[in-house]
Amino acid sequence: MSNDDVDGFFEVLADPTRRQVVQLLGERPYRAGDLAREVGTSAPVMSRHLRILLEAGLVTDERGSDDARVRVFRLRPEPVVAVQAWLDQIQAHWSEQLASFKHHVETRQTAARRRKDRK
């Protein structure tokens, strides 16, 4: 995942309403009107949020088979998995750095104790 992808992901999720929508869609698919009611916003405002989430690739929509005007929105797991993989890389790097620092400190402490014991 590139830095631009990560930046875009976090930029989209910087909005609390969109985070709430993503959380709801993580539970189950929703229609736009149902999302607007759950979040407590108007249909036009929800439409703008859903458009941003669609453009960012975080959600997908499907037309209902019984009524083509009804769109059902679902969370796409791939972007979340990609960000989790990026975070795992960051965590592994920091874990390695902290382990190296710990080893350095312990080595210095052991050397200091040995010098003290010799005196």
Q: Residue 49 in contact with residue 30, Cβ under 8 Å?
A: no
Angle between helices 32-39 and 16-27 (to 10 degrees): 120
Q: Distance between CA 71 and CA 25 in Å, rounded?
A: 13
The CATH number covering residue 36 comes to 1.10.10.10
Q: Distance between CA 117 and CA 105 in Å, rounded?
A: 18
Q: Distance between CA 41 and CA 37 in Å, rounded?
A: 6
pLDDT in 10s for each residue of the chain, 119 residues: 566 677 788 899 999 999 999 999 999 999 999 999 999 999 999 999 999 999 999 999 988 667 667 889 999 988 777 778 777 887 887 878 888 888 778 888 888 888 888 87
Q: Rounded to 5 degrees, what are φ and ψ at 93?
A: -60, -50
pLDDT digits (tens, 9 = 90+) for 85-102: 777 887 887 878 888 888
Number of structural domains the chain divides into:
1
Structural domain of residue 62, as residue ranges?
Answer: 3-118
